[in-house]
Amino acid sequence: MFVTTADAKLEPPIITVNTVLSLLAVDYPTHKLACYVSDDGCSPLTLYSIIEAPKFAKLWVPFCKKYHVQVRAPFRYFSDNPILSSYSPSGFLQEWTKMKDEYEKLCQKIEDAVQNLAPLDFSRDNVDFAHIDSRNHPTIIKVIWETKERISNGLPHMVYVAREKHPNHSHRYKAGAMNTLTRVSSVLTNAPFMLNVDCDMYANNPKIILHAMCLLLGFKHEKSAFVQFPQMFYNILKDDPCGSKVVEAVKVRTGCFHRRKVIYGSSLTDNEEENIDQPDNLSCAVDAAYHVAHSEFEHDTLWGKKVGWVYGSVTEDVLTGMKIHARGWKSILCMLGPPGFLGAAPSITHVMLIQRKRGITGLLEIFHSSIVFALHSSGHGRVGVATTGSWGEWGGPRGDDV
């Protein structure tokens, strides 16, 4: 499970922590899960918050599973009063109140750190942020939590990753961060499937991984490269004037489960087995993880071209999805009730417009590039590329609007 954040000011650490907590509490065997937090801003606030998260999670996860809590992001769960009925277990209200108090303590700790009211000391973690620039810093990889026992109410592995950045090497933005996470996770846990979510998109359905695995493993002849859950929001108007509910399965955006071998460049005709070898001890493999997170690691390799997330567009999710489909793979769009993931849509107009501009620019980059149409030999494939890529040029009124 990959959680990505890039700016602790624009993406408050408490929001990232809530997304992490919602993933740690999903209904799935914890020894088969690992949560990686990619901090592309290399922020001490983000690292501090992620270190504090397991302390609360050790209480939160058993509570969620004991009472079958549906929404497992605490900030959403505690936004309403507890629902009591004659069927409510005895002691529930007392535990609910205690859990809310513990969550408020966590929030206060993080807020004190944000306001510089509490010193951040990472000396025991051998991490020094004193001379770190978000655009020029060494790799930092910290195993926050390592699970060694198969406990139903336990926590999955937790790993913090801030890849190396150097002004002389392009960091390739989100695509570069995803490729680093792919390599680091292959060294540490090497699961055959990967989930990526933005830091503000929490797991809204605790059985989300079970649903994805049923789709990826439930067919004799695997044809699906990834399962995409729609990007949906909890704070939009009913008539959705900004089109936030428009969903597509061509992208590998937030809320997407991938086959690792597909990200590595496998085509549908490749028959190699999934490699699920895992190290016995995460801490012993950290040195190798540092090596693959180095800023020069991708030099003279196929990463960003034929392996991993594809470089060349600000909408790396669209370009990567198109290349995967061009290799013969299919994808699945899974719409659940309740939705698999929920996030907050921009509440400020200019922020929404900036996001839309980025998306439209990326699609036009792809549409007008010379490489994309070569990916699809069929007429239907080229029509699909043209329809998706030219979406941003549909700005004028249609015939039925005049």
Q: What is the mean pLDDT of residues 383-396?
A: 57
pTM of the predicted model over 0.85: yes
In this structure, the answer to whether residues 331 and 360 fall within a common structural domain is no
The per-residue pLDDT for 387 is 58
Residues 207 and 218 in one domain: yes
Q: Which residues make up each annotated binding site for UDP-alpha-D-glucose?
A: 11, 40
- pLDDT of 298 reads 92
Q: Examine the domain organization and report whether 341 and 354 are in the same domain.
A: no
101 annotated active-site: no
Cβ contact 207:22 at 8 Å: no
Residues 43 and 139 in one domain: yes
Q: Are residues 379 and 233 in the same domain?
A: no
Q: Is the pLDDT of residue 242 over 80?
A: no
- Is residue 110 domain-shared with residue 156, that is, in the same domain? yes
Q: Is 105 a residue whose pLDDT tops 90?
A: yes
Of 89-93, 135-139, 267-271, 376-380, minimum mean pLDDT range: 376-380
> 143-170 burial string, b = 16+ CB within 10 Å, else e?
bbbebeeeeeebbbbbbbbbbbbeeeee
Query: Per the structure block, which two tokens stand in for 169?
Result: 């090497």
Domain with 94, as residue range(s), is 2-345
CATH code for the domain of 229: 3.90.550.10
Number of domains in the chain: 2
**For residues 396 and 349, which has the higher predicted lDDT (pLDDT)?**
349
Binding-site residues for Mn(2+) sit at 174, 198
d(CA 235, CA 200): 13
**pLDDT, mean of residues 34-39:** 96
Q: Is 317 a catalytic residue?
A: yes
3-state per-residue secondary structure call for 47-105: HHHHHHHHHHHHHHHHHHHHCCCCCCCHHHHCCCCCCCCCCCCCCHHHHHHHHHHHHHH
Predicted confidence (pLDDT) at residue 321 exceeds the cutoff of 80? yes
Which residue is catalytic, options 277, 287, 317, 401? 317
Tens digit of each residue's pLDDT (9 = 90 or more) over 280-296: 678 778 989 999 999 99
pLDDT at residue 204, as a whole number:
95
Mean of pLDDT values over 262-267: 86
Q: Are residues 191 and 205 in the same domain?
A: yes
pLDDT band per the 50, 70, 90 thresholds, residue 340: very high
Note whether 65 and 198 are same-domain residues.
yes
Same domain, 296 and 236: yes
Question: Based on the domain organization, do 290 and 378 belong to the same domain?
Answer: no
Reported as a single tens digit per residue, the pLDDT across 160-181 is 999 999 888 888 989 999 999 9
Among 69-83, 229-243, 261-275, the range with the most confident prediction by mean pLDDT is 69-83
Q: Kindly indicate the confidence band of residue 382, based on its pLDDT and cuts at 50, 70 and 90.
A: low
Looking at the predicted structure, is the pLDDT value of residue 399 above 50?
A: no
Residues 99 and 211 in one domain: yes
Structure tokens at 389: 């890529």
The one catalytic residue in 7, 27, 39, 40 is: 40
Query: Mean pLDDT over all residues of the chain?
Result: 83
pLDDT per residue over 358-372, tens digit each?
A: 666 666 665 656 555
Among 40, 15, 4, smallest CA distance to 342 is for: 15
Which residue positions form the known binding site?
A: 11, 40, 174, 198
- Whether 182 has a pLDDT exceeding 80, the answer reads yes
**Whether the predicted pLDDT of 401 surpasses 50:** no
Same domain, residue pair 275 and 295: yes
The pairing of strands 140-145 and 224-228 is: unpaired
In angstroms, the CA 3 to CA 19 distance is 8
Which residue carries 């071998």 as its tokens? 261
